[in-house]
Amino acid sequence: MCGYCTEGLVLEYLLSGVRRNHHRSIYLQEADFLRDIETHGCCATQHQLDIVLCRVLDHHINWGHDASIIDRLLAAGADIVGPLGSRRGHALWPIVDETIYHDKDRWNTIIADPGVLHTALRTLDHYHDWWIGGNGRTDSLDQGANDGDIGSNDGASDWQTFCNIFPIVSFSLSLSLVSKNHGDADVVKKIALGPPHSVPDMVANDLWLQRRAIMTCVDRYGPRFIADNLPRLRYELVSYVLLRSDFGSLELNRVKEAVLAEESHEISILMEATDVVELIDRLDQPA
């Protein structure tokens, strides 16, 4: 089972609310992460803690700093910051600074620093060229792991490197999406339209990054972003946008017309055009 399969569970959850006993990571990505931890207990893996960390950072960036979040997580036994220092902390600055999760002034100072945004955009460029474009990749999903810098060729496992730097890539994406000057940067569109170079693992944090990027593009450009780029999108990603967006009948039918107009669709995972059309028809029903 790979990340494209677990993405199907994401769609199932969004459509019907069905939650499977396994693959908790995808629900931490998409559901209320605080309620999940307080209801189901502390995260069991570092992957899950990293996802929660990214959700906290994204919340602070989009909705304002809230120190109560880290307090609630620590009370539930979820230390999302402590383990970061052991994973090349210099590459994860500023999110390894524990004070930013408790101190609103410290957080605001860092977020307002133009150098932090500049570094974030450079990080996204490197991520796209390396992880999505495949430039400098040295191994595949199932090989061994040591630490390594992003895009390095020092014998480290590319997959472990991605896991190590994923939190700072996610932070960089969240920061770039809300920036008044750089939110429409080309790299965001490239991440939205570019699947990972290799088959994603079951956690599929790279697919989560892509889903977040494409939602921002659709929020900015409307359903025409889907229609204009449909040949480059897997139908699962189109369906995700449909389930996450508040499209009216006209917007839904614009996407439907684009899907029906395709003579062929090269990016086929599990879903077919008929599945997307059926979803649109289901969503385009009177309340």
> Of 129 and 40, which is predicted with more confidence?
129
Cα–Cα distance for residue pair 162/201, rounded to 1 Å: 11
User: Rounded mean pLDDT of 190-204?
Assistant: 91
Cα–Cα distance for residue pair 49/4, rounded to 1 Å: 21
Same-domain pairing of 233 and 193: no
**DSSP H/E element including 26:** helix 24-30
Cα–Cα distance for residue pair 127/123, rounded to 1 Å: 6
Model confidence at 14, pLDDT cuts 50, 70, 90, reads: very high
Query: What is the pLDDT at residue 137?
Result: 75
When mean pLDDT is compared across 73-82, 119-128, 143-152, the lowest value belongs to 143-152
Q: Is the pLDDT of residue 271 over 80?
A: yes
Cα–Cα distance for residue pair 69/75, rounded to 1 Å: 10
Same-domain pairing of 140 and 239: no
Query: What is the pLDDT at residue 184?
Result: 57
Model confidence at 157, pLDDT cuts 50, 70, 90, reads: confident
Same-domain pairing of 155 and 283: no
Choosing from 191, 221, 251, the residue where a domain stops is 221
Same-domain pairing of 102 and 238: no
Same-domain pairing of 235 and 265: yes
Same-domain pairing of 75 and 40: yes
Same-domain pairing of 261 and 194: no
> Of 172 and 180, which is predicted with more confidence?
172
* Tens-digit pLDDT profile for residues 212-260: 999 999 998 999 999 999 999 999 999 999 999 999 999 999 999 999 9
The domain tally of the chain equals: 2
User: Rounded mean pLDDT of 86-98?
Assistant: 77
> Of 212 and 159, which is predicted with more confidence?
212
Looking at residue 141, the DSSP 8-state letter turns out to be T
Same-domain pairing of 176 and 243: no
Cα–Cα distance for residue pair 89/151, rounded to 1 Å: 16
Choosing from 221, 252, 279, the residue where a domain stops is 221
When mean pLDDT is compared across 76-80, 106-110, 228-232, the lowest value belongs to 76-80
In this structure, what are the phi and psi dihedrals at residue 100, rounded to the nearest 5 degrees? -70, -20
Range of the domain at 276: 223-287
Same-domain pairing of 263 and 164: no
> Of 205 and 202, which is predicted with more confidence?
205
Same-domain pairing of 212 and 282: no
Choosing from 177, 196, 221, the residue where a domain stops is 221
Cα distances (Å, whole numbers) of residue 8 to 16, 26, 171, 209: 12, 10, 25, 16
The CA angle 119-120-122, to the nearest 5 degrees, is 65
Same-domain pairing of 114 and 193: yes
Nearest alpha carbon to residue 249 among 280, 215, 228: 280
Query: What is the pLDDT at residue 71?
Result: 95
Query: What is the pLDDT at residue 269?
Result: 82
Proportion of the chain above pLDDT 90, given as a percent: 64
User: Rounded mean pLDDT of 105-113?
Assistant: 94
Same-domain pairing of 155 and 246: no
Alpha carbon 253 to its chain centroid, in Å, reads: 27
